[in-house]
Chains A and B, each alone.
Chain A
Amino acid sequence: MRPINEMTLTFPARSVNEGFARLAAAAFAAQLDPTMDELGDIKTVISEAVTNCIVHAYPDTLGAVRMRCRIYPDGRFEATVADSGVGIADIEKAREPMFSTGGAERSGMGFTIMESFADSFTVRSRPGKGTTVRFTKRISPRAKK
């Protein structure tokens, strides 16, 4: 199925862009007339994915984060969030609840939350090359006003 609209944003992995990214994604998804709950789910997954790029992907450099959002005729919202950072050696392990290589400020729940808030969720990664997460969220049709 071909998307009916899409947008791509590229920004440096600075924490101030976490809020920007989730607001931009929410504004784009608004075309599908989502409920507050659906919008909250999208913002949450975007925030987790973008924060991971900022916190984990680039330990010694300031790299780029690329976010692509698409909407489909069947009411699906899809987003990919990608970095060209250190990558993840063992994805299965990284996705386990409470697994984290961060410090006390991280809870290791990011992937668990993304999984439970999205309808479908995949992680692709190659050590030294980078990480891409992709998720979809179905927006329920609402009676036309």
Chain B
Amino acid sequence: MSFLKASLAWIEERTGAMAFIAPLLFHHVPRNAKWWYVFGSATLMFFTIQIVTGVCLATVYAPSAAQAWESLNYIDNEVPMGWMLRALHGWSSNAMVVMMAIHMLQVFLHASYKYPRELNWITGVFLLLTVLALAFTGQVMRWDQDAYWGLGIGAAIADRIPVFGDQVRAMLLGGPIIGGETLNRFYALHVFVLPGAAIALVGLHMVLIIKNGISEMPKPGAVVVPSTYRKEFEERMHTDGVPFMPDAAQRDMVFCGVCLIGLFALAAISGPIGPGGMPDPTLINTNPRPDYPFMWLFGAVSLLPPASETAIMLIAPAIGVLLLLAIPFFSNSGERAPSKRPAMVLLAVVTVMAIAALTWEGTTSPWSPVMDGWSSLPTPAKFTRGRTPLEMQGAVVFQYAQCRNCHALDGQGGRRGPELDAVATRLSYDQLVRQVQQGGGNMPAYGKNLDSAQTAAVVAFLATLHPSNEPDSMIPGAQLPIPTGSAAAH
């Protein structure tokens, strides 16, 4: 033992390592922090996992558009433990984004960004951007159909930038098309630039945490007064603080341990994420979707009114980032307790709900036609029973003319247009004809595309879609069911 001690002393005398680390480990933190403060540590742990698994994957992954997709399949299927490494890397990426969001939310709700921790917040915002950029570039690394068409969407958005759109797009893609140089650009970002930035920012974030201390739990009435805060805080830490190691670190360790085991289980059970279809742009039977961290953006872009979407897509992200950066400058003193900042709490709740709702919308994407609805979904039997031949013919036209891609029957089919189970109760016969022929709303005009016999048949079918206790759509003014009527038949 004394030899060990002597060796340590020998190293210490030459490096001063302990003298450097000890204050970091044993600095005093608030006694009452409890479990609220574990999320930042968990984010950092996931980041560490990303670096380790990322370096491992880079030893096999071929960063070339011609081979990337095959090399991923090779890692999944041939390399020992390769699938698990990819699973860990993919799920840890999602977990890191989630943890970071929770960490940010906690800091926001507790107003920990107030004096003197404004720069803690700002480095945090840049970390958020860096991590999201890592997630996006990581999705490109999969180089599957989603990656290819996702880049296409990015290129199309860049293209809408006034004046420089062309140049920005070329910079993004590294050329006039999505190809080899595109992947390599994103690869350089994903494995060199962004991790480097993230490591530097994490370092800065930590230095600031040590310098400014960990904020106390907010108490109503305990206001932040910049002129006296630091002195009083240091006094309180001195008299009432507890050393980070082990008092606070023990909770971090327990939480991170649980997270790590959870990640392992998730990765082992769910397996690697992708790669999806091979990145051949001539295989167009694809339904491009972004990864989960970007699902809400996909939802937002899809729901924007077309007339203003360019402006919103280009400006809103910049405004969002500026607002995040500005928060500690607008309010850097005063109350920190959520109960004294109801507007801020409301803002946080609304933001979280909006992101959750948009994620849900993005996941279900009701605006997308079900591209194979017309050919793969059966016509519900209850809508065929007792129908006349003309109405049956209309049911066939309804499938055949892809109406089902956008309109659901009995809950199955597209959600782009209204479900038509009871359309006869909403539209008269003439209105049905007009809607089919002229379209309107989000519906194309079928007038040019269906001949009159097909239109008559499909309208006759639609006119029978109603609850059994209601009549078919009538010709206005006529007291009788439409001439081809099915009332007699059922």
Q: Do A and B assemble together?
A: no
